[in-house]
Amino acid sequence: MVSKGSAYALGAGTVINAIATWKGAAFGIDLKTFADVELSNETSVVRGTVEGIPDADTTLIERSVSYVLEHFGLEMGGTVKTRSEVPLASGLKSSSSAANASVLATLAAIDEELDPFEVVKMGVRAAIDSKVTITGALDDACASFFGGFVVTDNREMELLKRTEHDHKVLIFAPDKRSFSSGTNVSRSMLIAPWVDMAYDLSMMGNFEKAMTLNGFLYCGALGFETEFLLRALELGVKGVTLSGTGPSYVALVNDQQAGELEDAWKDYNVSGTIIRTSVNNNGANKI
């Protein structure tokens, strides 16, 4: 017997990078990762593929499927295929969205349900075991799954706050990639007291000020340019940051600011892609 399931989860932008303090904040964006799972009783092996990337490391999505099957005591295997609108290794939570989508698609294939937060934790476990994250990225995973703006304690595995806001989002994704596993953690720890200030702002709901403070702090610690942030501030943008551990930058903008900031970022003459999207408050879902 063959069973199939499909699902999607969101990419996300950073408000607070959790590496310095294990407390983070993020928001879902309207870029999706899709997963298709096909299972049978004829094998116990799960094999993954990533559309457009033949040599991709598929450990994360394979483990996401396997952990669901183990949870329900099912001796099955098969395939998991993902395709994504989220640029890989750009700080836009491609790993979290792939894990969430793979877990949800597996649940769809076996016609089972889990508590939504359990779905998120299963994907986080797969991400940690696959070594694609430093903190477990609970903040990224919650934003990817639930949408809206979230604040989390990654060490305690707690979702502390979730709110919904409507914003346009402008992203500059440089052509170079930056994998979270290669981040300079010791440099990040040095800025922890000031990241705590940004965290306090997030808990008060001042996400724009929090993310801008986060951006300057982590650009300094990790060696990324602040010019992208300053050009946004010059145009009256209140929320702009380095997303994740880079190299992408994200800004919360209105329609007028989107066009002006796109021109300002293009004018800086760094090779990359500009993406216009919006905050997604609806989250992940089965298809």
DSSP for 161-177? EEE----EEEEEEESS-
149-153 and 158-163 strand pairing:
antiparallel
**Residue 38 to residues 106, 203, 240: CA-CA distances in angstroms?**
8, 41, 40
Checking if the pLDDT of 181 tops 50, the result is no
The confidence score (pLDDT) of residue 80 equals 98
Condensed to tens digits (0 to 9), the pLDDT of residues 40-78 reads 999 999 999 999 988 889 999 999 999 999 999 999 999
- Write the CB contacts of 282 (distance below 8 Å, at least 6 apart in sequence): 147
Average pLDDT over residues 128-156: 91
Q: What is the mean pLDDT of residues 131-135?
A: 75
* pTM, two decimal places: 0.94
User: Is the confidence at residue 252, as pLDDT, over 60?
Assistant: yes
Query: In this predicted structure, what is the pLDDT of residue 177?
Result: 63
Whole-number pLDDT of residue 178: 53
**Of the ranges 130-134, 185-189, 258-262, the best mean pLDDT one:** 258-262
What percent of the chain stands above pLDDT 90?
Answer: 84
Domain made up of 1-287: CATH architecture = 2-Layer Sandwich (3.30)
Other CB atoms within 10 A of residue 54 CB: 7
Torsions phi, psi for 28 (to 5 deg): -70, 140
- Neighbouring C-alpha atoms within 13 Å toward the C-beta of 99: 34
What is the mean pLDDT of the segment spanning 179-208? 86
